[in-house]
């Protein structure tokens, strides 16, 4: 670790927070329908769909509208991927994807996971990328934000049945937040060297006379929304490591900022909407504690280098460089990794599979903690609110009072639903990963032997269920078993989580908002921040300790003992 | 049902037209006008022929050129259907080794590369495969170690090569971000232009 490395981290993270503050307030205005500069477009969409944006929806109505929109998006994307061979804008003549792969990919992009079992430049047509994958990048992100707004509204007032209008939330977040940011960022990305063209791949003849095929495409715009929407699905196979997807350290820094600003900002949007900005700041503080701690651990592990390689004559100065490109440096790799897995983005600017054991365990553990630090756009905030409820419940147990959050009494029904949501992740991750480790045809997908192989499998289901999308990429994921079970994991991780959360919101919205009294446990001070961080670590993380001990930790100690596999 | 699926389908279709067709096409149009070179892939041409992209590394094996980092990209094996064979810097399919820190195969590969590199310790980037398989850069230390070989192969004094390399070391972006690096293709093009 170097001082200049820490300066890079401080600058980029500081910029992300500086942008998130005004953005959070702006998103609160958008959510309230107070931003109107694209009113004609908005009206046209509502009219065509027969939508009355002022009509409120109950939690069930909101959930159904969300599921219907996502189902429509899934069908359209599945068809595009299957039929891309017959459709236009396919200069490389790629065939349609197999049913397994198309199912996995469509689920992956609709659930904001963006796990990639395919290699972009070798399997997806320009039309599939532009009109299929990129559109879902927008819509799944807007869906997440809409859900977070619905949950937020449950705390705004008392005795209401309605959580807002899903379609109006979706349209407004797309038109006023995601699209303008993506246009600005997309143009910046082109200037930095990302292609944005419909021309077919170029055949170059290298200085040594070899033919090299250079892939191109309408990449920059899609990459912009991929980060802003914390989607993470790369235009190219190796994601933001590809020189066209991460051309330099400025581009990688902008990507870090882009994937953090909306999740950070939404915490502040929450504070503003419930009329107490301190509440939003407390949530943001919890997020930042984990992002900084995770960055420090990754940075230290990766910059230290691999002792086995150093003993073989490799200079320790650059740290562990396997699976990394030169231009980003270890500091920005560490911050990128912490934000991409903390934020449920899943883009990568280094290969996690080749990380040091203690570097690789951090991204996995951040997803285990529930994808809330800061979490995906929207999903991060509603996940955080579940943990906030759990925290006040734990605090309530300790002092023997009925727990309250923002004046809303937290009772048995809410706690049962919260536990249901929180248990989805471990059940899916540990269930499918252990099943796969005893199935020979699943184990044959592993690229590495020993404890590292277990890490690869565990990471795959962790990433899918957490809707992250990053990978220990050695795993051969394009098989019927993995495509199908990972697809199911993504669906459960998204929808089996959010439906109970919406039910909590519906139940809380009905309750009166009690005024603060002398007995109220404040949920904005350092005490609550510390308590909540502890609850996330213990309730979110403890159940994974045995599997983590068998994979990255076992590998770490094997490595120190000089053992290879 | 009509109140549920009509809005859902209409929104998905209309937003697909807006976000998936109109917006990217407009972006492409603007990008082609404002940043034509970058939007087209930062291609480098010599005598009307494309010789590569400034951003995409290419393989150099001849002693008269600076060599890039090891690359783990592959291509389909024509003799053995369904399997692949090593093809460094195959830009048609970016890939990393995906070998873990306790991989015996990786340790073996690194030992072989260190032995070929000579004097230890060897800069890490010279003996590890990049993440993209297309890393266009090497570290300044890695480049400096290659000066004697390049100079001998070209029959020119080491000092000239060293001076040229010094011009091609790119510092951190904005003086702060990333790490110093050398673009191998640009440096080798400049070497060819020396005479």
Determine the Cα–Cα distance for residues A275 and A240; give it in Å rounded to an integer: 38
Confirm if B28 and A196 have CB atoms less than 8 A apart: yes
Determine the Cα–Cα distance for residues A210 and A373; give it in Å rounded to an integer: 46
The verdict on A273 touching B (C-beta cutoff 8 Å) is no
The verdict on B189 touching A (C-beta cutoff 8 Å) is yes
Q: What is the pLDDT of residue B118?
A: 87
**A65 to chain B: nearest residue by CA?**
B4
Same domain, B82 and B34: no
Record the tokens describing residue A529, joined without a space: 């921040």
Same domain, B155 and B185: yes
Same domain, B30 and B62: no
Instruction: Return residues 314-353 of A near B (CB < 8 Å).
Output: 314-329, 332, 349-351, 353
Total count of domains within chain B: 2
Same domain, B23 and B103: no
Cβ distance A68 to B5 less than 8 Å, yes or no, reads yes
Determine the Cα–Cα distance for residues A540 and A544; give it in Å rounded to an integer: 8
Gap from A443 CA to chain B (nearest CA, Å): 16
Gap from A103 CA to chain B (nearest CA, Å): 18
Residue B1 has pLDDT above 70, yes or no: no
CB nearest to A213's CB, from B12, B13, B91: B91
Cβ distance A122 to B31 less than 8 Å, yes or no, reads no
User: Which residues lie closer than 8 Å to A162 by C-beta, 6 or more apart?
Assistant: A56, A57, A58, A153, A509
Same domain, B87 and B130: yes
Same domain, B18 and B90: no
Residue B39: list chain A partners with CB under 8 A. Answer: 190, 195-197, 220
Same domain, B54 and B138: yes
Q: Tell me the C-alpha to C-alpha distance, in Å, between residue B188 and each of A322, A357, B27, B164.
A: 24, 37, 34, 10
The verdict on B140 touching A (C-beta cutoff 8 Å) is no
Same domain, B28 and B84: no
Range of the domain at B170: 43-192
Q: Is A450 left (phi over 0), alpha (psi -120 to 50) or beta?
A: left
Same domain, B81 and B108: yes
Q: What is the pLDDT of residue A49?
A: 94
**A69 to chain B: nearest residue by CA?**
B8
**B191 to chain A: nearest residue by CA?**
A207
Mutation for A interface: B42, B102, B176, most A CBs within 10 A: B102
Same domain, B13 and B70: no
Q: What is the pLDDT of residue A520?
A: 84
Residue A250: list chain B partners with CB under 8 A. Answer: 173-174, 177
pTM for this one? 0.96
Cβ distance A350 to B31 less than 8 Å, yes or no, reads no
> Per-residue confidence of chain A (565 residues) as pLDDT tens digits?
899 999 999 999 999 999 999 999 999 999 999 999 999 999 999 999 999 999 999 999 999 999 999 999 999 999 999 999 999 999 999 999 999 999 999 999 999 999 988 888 889 999 999 999 999 999 999 999 999 999 999 999 888 999 999 999 999 999 999 999 999 999 999 999 999 999 999 999 999 999 999 999 999 999 999 999 999 999 999 999 999 999 999 999 999 999 999 999 999 999 999 999 999 999 999 999 999 999 999 999 999 999 999 999 999 999 999 999 999 999 999 999 999 999 989 999 999 999 999 999 999 999 999 888 888 899 999 999 999 999 999 999 888 888 999 999 999 999 999 999 999 999 999 999 999 999 999 999 999 999 999 999 999 999 999 999 999 989 998 999 999 999 999 999 999 999 999 999 999 999 999 888 888 889 999 999 999 999 999 988 899 999 999 999 999 999 999 999 9
Same domain, B12 and B58: no
- The residue-averaged pLDDT of B131-154 equals 97
Gap from B153 CA to chain A (nearest CA, Å): 15
The neighbour count for residue A348, using CB atoms within 10 Å, is: 28
Q: What is the pLDDT of residue A262?
A: 96
Kindly report, residue by residue over B83-100, the tens digit of the pLDDT. Answer: 899 999 999 999 999 999
Residue A357: list chain B partners with CB under 8 A. Answer: 101-102
Same domain, B114 and B155: yes
């Amino acid at each position: 670790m170097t001082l200049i490395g820490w300066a890079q981290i401080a600058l980029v993270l500081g910029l992300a927070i500086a942008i998130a503050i005004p953005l959070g307030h702006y998103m609160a205005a958008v959510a309230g329908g107070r931003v109107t500069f694209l009113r004609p477009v908005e009206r046209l969409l509502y009219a065509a769909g027969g939508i009355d944006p002022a009509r409120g929806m109950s939690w069930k109505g909101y959930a159904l509208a969300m599921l219907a929109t996502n189902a429509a998006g899934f069908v359209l994307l599945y068809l595009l991927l299957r039929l891309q061979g017959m459709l236009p804008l396919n200069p490389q003549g790629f065939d349609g994807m197999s049913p397994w792969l198309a199912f996995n990919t469509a689920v992956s992009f609709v659930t904001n996971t963006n796990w990639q079992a395919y290699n972009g430049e070798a399997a997806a047509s320009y039309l599939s990328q532009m009109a299929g994958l990129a559109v879902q990048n927008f819509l799944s992100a807007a869906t997440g934000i809409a859900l977070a707004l619905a949950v937020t509204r449950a705390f705004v007032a008392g005795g209401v049945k309605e959580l807002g209008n899903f379609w109006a939330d979706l349209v407004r977040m797309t038109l006023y937040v995601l699209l303008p940011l993506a246009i600005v960022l997309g143009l910046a990305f082109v200037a930095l060297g990302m292609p944005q063209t419909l021309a077919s791949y170029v055949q170059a003849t290298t200085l040594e006379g070899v033919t090299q095929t250079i892939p191109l495409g309408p990449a920059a715009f899609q990459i912009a929304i991929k980060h802003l929407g914390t989607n993470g699905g790369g235009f190219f196979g190796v994601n933001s490591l590809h020189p066209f997807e991460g051309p330099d350290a400025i581009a990688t820094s902008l990507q870090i900022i882009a994937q953090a600003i909306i999740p950070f900002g939404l915490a502040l949007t929450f504070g503003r909407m419930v009329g107490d900005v301190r509440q939003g700041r407390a949530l943001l503080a919890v997020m930042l504690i984990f992002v900084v701690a995770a960055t420090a651990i990754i940075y230290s592990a990766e910059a230290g280098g691999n002792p086995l390689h150093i003993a073989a004559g490799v200079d320790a100065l650059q740290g562990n460089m396997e699976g990394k490109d030169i231009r980003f440096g270890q500091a920005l790799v560490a911050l990128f990794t912490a934000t991409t897995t903390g934020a449920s983005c899943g883009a990568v600017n280094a290969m996690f599979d080749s990380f040091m054991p203690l570097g690789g365990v951090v991204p996995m553990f951040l997803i285990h903690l529930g994808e809330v630090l800061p979490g995906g756009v929207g999903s991060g905030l509603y996940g955080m609110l579940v943990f906030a409820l759990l925290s006040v419940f734990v605090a309530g147990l300790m002092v023997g009072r009925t727990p309250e959050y923002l004046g809303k009494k937290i009772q048995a029904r809410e706690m049962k639903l919260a536990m249901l949501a929180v248990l989805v992740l471990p059940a899916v991750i540990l269930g499918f990963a252990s099943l796969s480790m005893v199935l020979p045809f699943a184990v044959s997908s592993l690229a590495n032997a020993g404890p590292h192989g277990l890490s690869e499998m565990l990471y795959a289901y962790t990433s899918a269920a957490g809707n992250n999308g990053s990978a220990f990429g050695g795993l051969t994921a394009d098989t019927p078993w993995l495509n199908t079970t990972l697809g199911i994991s993504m669906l459960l991780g998204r929808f089996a989580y959010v439906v109970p959360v919406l039910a909590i919101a519906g139940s809380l919205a009905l309750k009166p908002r009690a005024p603060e009294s002398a007995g109220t446990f404040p949920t904005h001070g350092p005490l609550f921040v510390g308590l909540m961080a502890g609850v996330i670590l213990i309730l979110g993380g403890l159940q994974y300790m045995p599997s983590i001990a068998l994979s990255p930790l076992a590998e770490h100690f094997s490595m120190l003992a000089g053992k290879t596999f | 049902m009509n109140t549920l699926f009509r809005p859902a389908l209409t929104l998905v279709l209309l937003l697909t037209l807006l976000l998936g067709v109109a917006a990217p096409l407009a972006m492409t149009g603007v990008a082609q006008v404002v940043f034509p070179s970058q939007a087209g892939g930062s291609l480098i041409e010599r005598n009307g022929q494309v010789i590569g992209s400034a951003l995409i590394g290419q393989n150099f094996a001849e002693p008269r050129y600076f060599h890039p980092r090891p690359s783990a990209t592959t291509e389909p094996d024509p003799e053995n259907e369904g399997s692949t064979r090593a093809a460094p810097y195959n830009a048609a399919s970016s890939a990393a080794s995906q070998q873990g820190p306790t991989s015996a195969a990786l340790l073996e590969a690194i030992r072989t590369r260190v032995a070929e590199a000579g004097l230890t310790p060897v800069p890490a980037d010279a003996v590890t495969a990049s993440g993209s398989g297309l890393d266009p850069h090497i570290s300044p230390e890695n480049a400096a170690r290659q000066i004697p070989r390049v100079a001998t192969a070209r029959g020119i004094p080491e000092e000239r090569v060293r001076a040229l390399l010094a011009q091609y070391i790119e510092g951190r972006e904005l003086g702060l971000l990333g790490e110093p690096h050398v673009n191998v293709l640009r440096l080798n093009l400049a070497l060819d232009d020396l005479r």
